[in-house]
Structure 1
Amino acid sequence: MDEESRYEAVCSRDARFDGEFFFAVATTGIYCRPSCPAVTPKRQNVRFYPTAAAAQRGGFRACRRCRPDAVPGSAEWNARADVVGRAMRLIGDGVVDREGVAGLAVRLGYSARQVQRQLNAELGAGPVALARAQRAHTARVLLQTTELQVADVAFAAGFASVRQFNDTIREIYAATPSALRDAGRRAGERSGGQGPGGVPLRLAYRGRYAAAELFDFLGCRAVAGVEELAGERGHRVYRRTLRLPRGWGVAEVTEDAGDRGWLACRLWLSELQDLTCATQRLRRLLDLDADPYAVADRLGADPVLGPLVARRPGMRAPGAVDPAELAVRAVLGQGLPVAAARRLGEVLVAAYGEPLPAPQGGLTRLFPAVAVLAQAPLAELEVTEERRAAVRAVSAALAEGSVLLDAGVDREQAERELRALPGVSAWTAGYVRMRALGDPDVLPARDPLVRAGLRALGAAPDAAEGWRPWRSYALHHLWHRDPR
């Protein structure tokens, strides 16, 4: 988009572009999302920025009315495989907060100076500024929805000191932490600190959201002890345990049947500093940063997929909260029906999962660590020795780091490395790439449901080439195809 088309989106308050760019008003010193309901500013007073961090760096503070820091992330970072896209995914996962810019650069395979230069050139802000904007948003949410002490909020959001936290909040929101807290109280957003009720969050998404199909997908694969799905369709609650960088957590997400723009979520964390990381991993699991408009434009115009897209608007491609867990489960269940794969996962969790300090409902364990599985006999599993060896090989490769599946890896390289391991099929490597690495353009090789779907729809075998770069979404439409 050029600046004139961006201004047209601002004039029409087009929510499709929330998170894709931000606009700032020179006369007020405020930056907003495109759908901000305030009076549209004059064109000569408007500046455009690719990220909230860039707007903040330009000296603008966040609009209190439209809350531009709370929009879904740009879908561009899911699709892009270059160093900028990989860096944005890692920053979202909290790598800069935990490991600094040097750690980010090591993961990307570039020098810190190169990473800084590329991010500044394209996004108008470096990794420190991008991470700072993310910390500020986390802090605002905690201030306005919990009763946590201000110092606890500062460190939970990732700030190094209370003074740094206070200065950042004043600069970005033009308000003190106490003023933000009072605003949340007046708006009725408060629901206590992290106690029995956990930390409440609203996970924003754009456009239509096929929540029922996504919860169906997660529910039929839910491994007892680690995951559970309860309630009636349209009002279900999905809960699962999380293995996080500093500790463990439990997440609870409520199905939204009304397309209100966000999913209600609660998090219980052993270490509050894992809040940002846990939130981002849930967003990847639920594919909340997708751009359903772009997907529908491409797939909806296809003569084969068009009727399926119209039948299920807002279809998402579920990701994973833990790439290592997803890889182990994919290898363990490859070639088996979903129910059989789930039962094997439950046996694995019961034998090797790490117990929670106290059960939370039906959730009792964390999924086994790959370091444990790499040395485990796996005799409890009623599978061939070749399958046990494949699980151990994948676990060992992930534990020692010879295969990496973090948010910023090169996806093609990771798929090649997985396929080189004994017992890992091409289908499994593609499935891991799609879900664990969030690649929106994967069609696992020789998928039987895809072939059956193409035959039933009368499509040519090469029809999938026209579905790029959204083949992962096409795959889910085919998987959910009504056999009638």
Structure 2
Amino acid sequence: MDAETRYEAVRSRDARFDGEFFFAVETTGIYCRPSCPAVTPKRQNVRYYTTAAAAQTSGFRACRRCRPDAVPGSAEWNVRADVVGRAMRMIGDGVVDREGVPGLAVRLGYSARQVQRQLTAELGAGPVALARAQRAHTARVLLQTTDLPITEIAFAAGFASVRQFNDTIRAVYALTPTALRAAAPKRGTARATPAAGIPLRLAHRGPYQAGAVFDLLAHEALDGIEEVTGDPGDRTYRRTLRLPYGTGIVAVREAVPEPAAGAGSSADALHRGGWLDARLHLADLRDLTTAVQRLRRLFDLDADPYAVDERLGADPQLAPLVAARPGLRSPGAADPEEFAVRALVGGAAAERLVARYGKALDAACGVLTHVFPAPADLTGEPGPLGALATALADGTLRLDAGADRDEAAAALLALPGMDARTAALIRMRALGDPDVALPGGPERTPDSWRPWRSYGRCHLWSFSLRDPSCGATPDAPGSAPR
């Protein structure tokens, strides 16, 4: 977008562009999301940034009214398969916090200097600044939703020291951590304790067909690690998570949030963008950022439904489906390695693996009793499963957030017992590729659907649960889902 288009989005407070770019006002020193309800600034005073980190690097602080750090992520990072796109996905997953810039560079196959140069040239901020902006957002969430001591929050958010934490919060929000906690929006409930979990609002842009996503999750839920409860329209999805520092349990509600005063109907709130309510229980709070990003990929919350619907709605086959379900998402996976195993062996066999190899939770939470086994636990299995587990365990096959999708697809197809359809299914769901054509299906996947062929298949799948084309885990490769 050029500056004129961006200014028109700001002037019209167009929420479709929230997270796609940010604008800053030179006279106030504040940066905002495009839909900020404040008075529109003069055109000559506005500067535009691709990321919040770039605005912060230029010396602007976050608006306290529109909270630009809480917007959905840019859909561009899901689509792009280049170094910058892969780097952004890995930074979101917490790689820089855990492994530093050198670790990020090794995963990308470039030098740290090259990664710094490419990100700065295109985004206006390097990996350290991008990770810093993410840590600040994590810290704000913990400050405003929990009663954890501030020192614990500093390290849980990924800061190396309390001093670094204090300096960053002042720079980003122009408040001390204590003042930022006091400025928390009042939602009518007391702040959560760690035992009660961390309440979150997982934002998305535009319409969101939660029912279709929850149908899929209910359809393929595994005993011991997942469950979907409640009636359609008000269901809750719960599952266990295997995370870098420990385990977690998450609960996400299907219900559409009530619109704010003056926002119109619930349907209007859904069209304008909204959120899914979630609650996270973590054994180690340092896993918060990673857990949130994995949930965002599972529920495909950073998608641009307007771009997807515009392209697919022009296809005669899909037009009535798109009109009936605007904003349909292409779900990902909470654990890419887990999904790969499930896609290969099917649901019934996956449940047996959970019972035999799964790590038991320290304390069961209802029907949730285990975490899905790590690949290293499955390397002794015979046949294709053992080959897949070994490739995942030794790094021959990478399915993490920043994996090269083409390289991963080639590595999958090189495994014994891996057919092209299962490999494509793993690429669609585990790697979050929005443009996968599943081979061997009963329906066509035309090139006119590019770059959203995965979403086209999801429309066909959601039309009938008997069609596994959107990625419902089959009982065996190529068979109907259970």
Q: Deviations over 1:36-89 (max 9, x none)?
A: 000000000000000000000010000000000000000000000000000000
Question: What is the match of residue 411 of structure 1?
Answer: 405
Question: What is the match of residue 243 of structure 1?
Answer: 242
Q: Deviations over 1:419-471 (max 9, x none)?
A: 110000100110100111110001211123xx2xxxxxxxxx5x611000000
SS in structure 1 of the partner of residue 363 of structure 2:
strand
Q: Deviations over 1:170-196 (max 9, x none)?
A: 00000011111111165546432211x
Deviation at 1:344, TM superposition (A): 2.1
Q: Distance in 2 between matches of 1:103 and 1:352?
A: 30
1:358 to 363, 384, 388: 363
Amino acid at match of 1:12: S
Q: Distance in 1 between matches of 2:461 and 2:80?
A: 25
Consecutive unaligned residues of structure 2, counting only runs of 5 or more, are 257-265, 467-482
SS in structure 1 of the partner of residue 201 of structure 2:
strand
The change in CA–CA distance for 1:434 and 1:482 in structure 2 (over 3 A counts) is: closer
Amino acid at match of 1:347: R
Q: Distance in 1 between matches of 2:363 and 2:114?
A: 46
Q: Distance in 1 between matches of 2:249 and 2:19?
A: 27
1:303 to 316, 325, 334: 316
The change in CA–CA distance for 1:131 and 1:39 in structure 2 (over 3 A counts) is: same
Amino acid at match of 1:53: A
SS in structure 2 of the partner of residue 359 of structure 1:
strand
CA contact (8 A) 1:393 1:421 kept: yes
Identity, % of aligned positions: 67
Deviation at 1:359, TM superposition (A): 0.1
Q: Distance in 2 between matches of 1:113 and 1:285?
A: 32
Q: Distance in 2 between matches of 1:55 and 1:224?
A: 45
Q: CA RMSD in A?
A: 1.4
Q: Deviations over 1:122-143 (max 9, x none)?
A: 0000000000000000100110
Q: Matches of residues 3-22 of structure 1 in structure 2 within 5 Å?
A: 3-22=3-22
Q: Matches of residues 83-232 of structure 1 in structure 2 within 5 Å?
A: 83-184=83-184, 186=186, 188=188, 190-195=190-195, 197-232=196-231
Question: What is the match of residue 452 of structure 2?
Answer: 470
Amino acid at match of 1:372: D
Q: Matches of residues 341-352 of structure 1 in structure 2 within 5 Å?
A: 342-352=347-357
SS in structure 1 of the partner of residue 194 of structure 2:
coil
SS in structure 2 of the partner of residue 184 of structure 1:
coil
Q: Deviations over 1:221-254 (max 9, x none)?
A: 0001000000011110000000000111101101
1:317 aligns with 2:299: no
Q: Distance in 2 between matches of 1:308 and 1:186?
A: 40
Q: Deviations over 1:253-281 (max 9, x none)?
A: 01133536011111111111000000000
CA contact (8 A) 2:144 2:191 kept: no
Question: What is the match of residue 288 of structure 2?
Answer: 275
Q: Distance in 2 between matches of 1:345 and 1:79?
A: 30
Amino acid at match of 1:470: W
Q: Deviations over 1:351-377 (max 9, x none)?
A: 11110000011100000111111114x
SS in structure 1 of the partner of residue 23 of structure 2:
strand
Question: What is the match of residue 430 of structure 2?
Answer: 436
TM-score by length of 2: 0.92
Q: Matches of residues 257-272 of structure 1 in structure 2 within 5 Å?
A: 257=256, 258=266, 259=270, 261-272=274-285
Amino acid at match of 1:52: A
Aligned length: 452
Q: Distance in 2 between matches of 1:99 and 1:296?
A: 38
TM-score by length of 1: 0.92
Q: Matches of residues 396-407 of structure 1 in structure 2 within 5 Å?
A: 396-407=390-401
Q: Distance in 1 between matches of 2:396 and 2:80?
A: 23
Deviation at 1:167, TM superposition (A): 0.5
SS in structure 2 of the partner of residue 265 of structure 1:
strand
Consecutive unaligned residues of structure 1, counting only runs of 5 or more, are 334-341, 377-387, 452-460
Question: What is the match of residue 389 of structure 1?
Answer: 383
Q: Distance in 1 between matches of 2:194 and 2:423?
A: 38
The change in CA–CA distance for 1:232 and 1:475 in structure 2 (over 3 A counts) is: same
Q: Matches of residues 24-39 of structure 1 in structure 2 within 5 Å?
A: 24-39=24-39
Amino acid at match of 2:307: A
CA contact (8 A) 1:145 1:189 kept: no
CA contact (8 A) 2:238 2:251 kept: yes
Q: Distance in 2 between matches of 1:233 and 1:279?
A: 24
CA contact (8 A) 1:184 1:190 kept: no
Q: List 4+ stretches of structure 1 deviating above 6 A.
A: none
Which region of structure 1 is more displaced relative to structure 2, 23-32 or 396-405? 396-405
Deviation at 1:304, TM superposition (A): 1.6
Amino acid at match of 1:402: T
Q: Distance in 2 between matches of 1:289 and 1:320?
A: 14
Question: What is the match of residue 456 of structure 1?
Answer: none
Q: Distance in 1 between matches of 2:416 and 2:255?
A: 41
SS in structure 1 of the partner of residue 184 of structure 2:
helix
Deviation at 1:301, TM superposition (A): 1.5
SS in structure 1 of the partner of residue 183 of structure 2:
helix
Amino acid at match of 1:361: G
